[in-house]
Amino acid sequence: MRKIIHVDCDCFYAAIEMRDDPQLAGKPLAVGGAADRRGVVATCNYEARAWGIRSAMPMGQALKLCPDLKVVKPRMDAYKAVSREIHGIFREFTEIIEPLSLDEAYLDVTDSAHFAGSATRIAKEIRRRVSQELHITVSAGVAPNKFLAKIASDWRKPDGLFVITPDQVDEFVAVLPVSKLHGVGKVTADKLGRLGISTCADLREWNKLALVREFGSFGERLWSLARGIDERALQTDSRRQSVSVENTYDEDIPNLAMCLKRLPELLEQLETRMARLDSSYKPDKPFVKIKFHDFSQTTLEQAGARRDLHSYQQLLSAAFARGNKPVRLLGVGVRLLDMRGRHEQLELFAP
């Protein structure tokens, strides 16, 4: 039986800002872009959340909800430095770490010799060390797998610890809303609801074949999660999977023709970033990303397509057709193949 810890910092960016400037503590605070530059909330403290402010909200809307909201610009160098220190603490207990972002990670402590192998005591010590040395708080979840550990870390936020032992898994998962399952978004949750499935106990009444018929290959995943089964290993290799550039515009782009005019500049920036990659990466599928004026967004990629202007024009046109409304953000990118250990097949004829 594995022992997995999920560690999640509490309002990370805001916590560092309050730590470094104590005058911000106890006041509604948001970290993000300026409202007059169409900025959005990167994160906010719990005082701001009490006003209904949340991450990814337009800053202008946040200020309408809370006129006294204090807004500070992100200091990514400071956040990265703290993240490195937190990971240094992690590595004192295990080398099997899967970082999800600057402020969130999985740890596999199954074979850790610390605290006689107690994952709960390791999690307590990590929380204590981060609080004592870095003066911010983290929440942690302990469970036999990644799926449950992530749910557990959110159970007693902020500054909390929740443990799901192996013999508690069945009972805990049975009453869990299906919306909490890994990979279940709004569309899938709505479909499950129409089928009369609101909890994992409801989901367990469906056999695997029936779920596959309704949800395709994801149906088998649903069958496993409803029983608390998640065999995913931690992904400890933080190699790039893509490279991209994107731009949020001060004014909405009104139509497709104007969007297409923005492509050459974005592709030039993309090529600059591609040139920085080492030879162990190979460009694969090109993709485009669009965020419309109402904050709905779509991403479209195509296998086998070239990375030239014409190919990106076709992708952008198809992606724009999904919304057909003014655009606030455009992005272009390339999925990457990791060529380490691979033997690339040479083409018979040069292109």
Summarize the annotated binding site for Mg(2+) as residue ranges.
8, 103
d(CA 255, CA 325): 7
State the residue for tokens 């916590």: 15
Tell me the three-class secondary structure of 203-239, residue by residue.
HCCCCHHHHHHHHCCHHHHHHHHCCCCCCCCCCCCCC
| Burial class of residue 182, CB neighbours in 10 A (0-12, 13-18, 19+) | middle
β-partners of residue 138 are 9
Residues annotated within the binding site are 8, 103
Quickly count: other Cβ atoms within 10 Å of residue 95's Cβ.
10
Both tokens assigned to 300: 């479209």
Helix (H), strand (E) at residue 309 = helix 309-321
| Burial class of residue 101, CB neighbours in 10 A (0-12, 13-18, 19+) | exposed
**Helices in 238-296 by DSSP H: which ranges?**
256-274
Which entry of 47, 85, 98, 104 is annotated as an active-site residue? 104
d(CA 108, CA 169): 18
Strand 70-72 versus strand 41-44 pairing type: unpaired
Phi, psi torsion values for 53, nearest 5 degrees? -80, 145
To the query of whether residue 231 is one of the catalytic residues in this protein, the response is no
DSSP string, 16-75: HHHHH-GGGTTS-EEEE--GGGT-BEEEE-HHHHTTT--TT-BHHHHHHH-TT-EEE---
Catalytic residues: 104
